[in-house]
Amino acid sequence: MSAPNDSAERSPRFAKPLLAVLFAALLVAGGRPLYRHRHDRVPVVPGPGVTRVLRLSDFGPTLAGTFADTDVFVLEGAKPGGKALVIANTHANEPEALLAAVVMIENAVVEQGTLFIIPEFNASGGRNTKPGDGYPLYFSIPTEWGAKRFRIGNRDASPLEQWPDPDVYIHYPEKQLLSYIDVRNTNRTWPGRPNGPLMERVTYAAMELMRREKVDVAIDMHGAETMFPVTNCIVAPIKSSKIATLVSLTVKAREGFDNHVEPSPANFRGLSHREIGDYSDTLPFLLEAPIPFLDQPTGPKTERLLLDGRDPFLLRLSRAKKLFVPYDEGGWPIARRVGQHCSVSLEIFRQFTKKNPERAIAVAGIPRYAELVQNGVGHYFHDPAKANPKALRYE
């Protein structure tokens, strides 16, 4: 039997059940969108050039059955020639790469050589979110047949796949000390190892693909902040720099956009443009397109900012000469960013072919910068409802 004073100190009778119900409601309301995002599937319509679809686990068996396994689209030409690998969504919050890859998969026809395309390289990162930065979960690209929706992912793989993070990430095999979070960053875990953390196994599988298939050229597509000096550029090590320079000069002269060359730093380990070149015979190129959405001093991180890149704060910073790219009221629309990636990739193939005619890579059907700016990205996406359901792939 309790004393009268005890009952006076007790919480109201319905407080605990009410709080428990609120807790459950909060879990469902907060968790359901995250769960749906993680299990969302984006249909991709393989174009006439796609001859096979492999899995990355074909080159790194320990990826099989994990969220890190991902599709590798193969486009083989009628004539043998050189081989190229195009990687997108190394960082899944830089969507110009994914969109350029999907444009290629749905439209490219290889006339000579072979093209491998991995549209969702960090597949776990593509299903991770960044709610702390207020990122939307999705964005949509308008097309002639309706809106095509994509997920906005995160720079790093989800801790659901790889947990816990170390205090310091010790790069393999160079032993350089990197930030703890880079253990989940597939642009710090190159060249990887077969039995390392999951993201090292992802990059190892890609290295195996390049080594086994004797890939000549690897292109890793990204986006970078306008306030970051390594933006709007091609990052290349010395072995790729001649081709990169010719590509930069050619797109400026022929297509009218800047894309300067940045040297790959020899002492900064783990990056694709460094390790692919050092640990294989492949020539690596990393493409950066400006993405204002990733800059810190912007307004809200909305879908609109992601797509048109227009922001009044960046405009003021541009007038104060604080940005590393030209910036005006037009922002940096997604069509320009995707167009740059497509044109620079095509020009890399062309310049490589000029230097290595016996390993020619000839690709038709990929739109260039001016076409993408004029028609929009959505113009090049095909309606999954009208495609053969058996041929559809879901990324």
Partner 1 sequence: MGVIMILYYLLSLYLVVILAWNFVREKKSVNDMILILLVLIPLVLRILRVK
| # chain residues binding partner 1, by CB under 8 A | 23
Nearer to partner 1 among residue 129 and residue 318 (C-beta): 129
State yes or no: residue 38 binds partner 1 (CB under 8 A).
Answer: yes
Report 118-147 residues binding partner 1 (CB under 8 A): 129
**Closest separation in Å from C-beta 69 to partner 1:** 15
- Please choose, from the candidates 106, 358, 150, 336, the residue with its C-alpha nearest in 3D space to the C-alpha of residue 226: 336
Given the rule CB under 8 A, which of 6-14, 110-118, 174-182, 221-229 is the region that contacts partner 1? 6-14
Quick note: the x/- pattern for partner 1 over 160-199, rule CB under 8 A, is x-xxx-----------------------------------
Q: For Cα atoms 202, 204, 207, give the angle at the middle one, nearest 5 degrees.
A: 115
Torsion angle, CA of 334/95/93/76, rounded to 10 degrees?
Answer: -160
What lies within 8 Å, CB to CB, of 33 at 6+ separation is 137
Return the structure tokens found at 208.
């195996």
Q: Which of 1, 3, 5, 12 binds partner 1 (CB under 8 A)?
A: 12
Rounded CA gap, 147 and 373, in Å?
18
Position among 3, 4, 10, 358 found at the interface with partner 1 (CB under 8 A): 10
Euclidean distance between the first and the last CA atom of the chain, given in angstroms as a whole number:
63
Question: Using CB under 8 A, which of 1, 3, 4, 9 touches partner 1?
Answer: 9
Token output for 375:
């028609």
Of the ranges 28-36, 209-217, 301-309, 356-364, which one interacts with partner 1 (CB under 8 A)? 28-36
Segment interacting with partner 1, rule: CB under 8 A, options 13-21, 113-121, 323-331, 339-347 = 13-21
Dist CA 389 CA 391 (whole Å): 5
The span of 20-28, 279-287, 304-312, 360-368 binding partner 1 (CB under 8 A) equals 20-28
| Nearest of 253, 251, 285 to residue 368 by alpha carbon | 251
Please, what sign has the CA dihedral across residues 163, 169, 171, 174? Answer: negative
Contacting positions for partner 1 (CB under 8 A)? 9-12, 15-16, 19-20, 22-23, 26-27, 30-31, 34-35, 38, 129, 159-160, 162-164
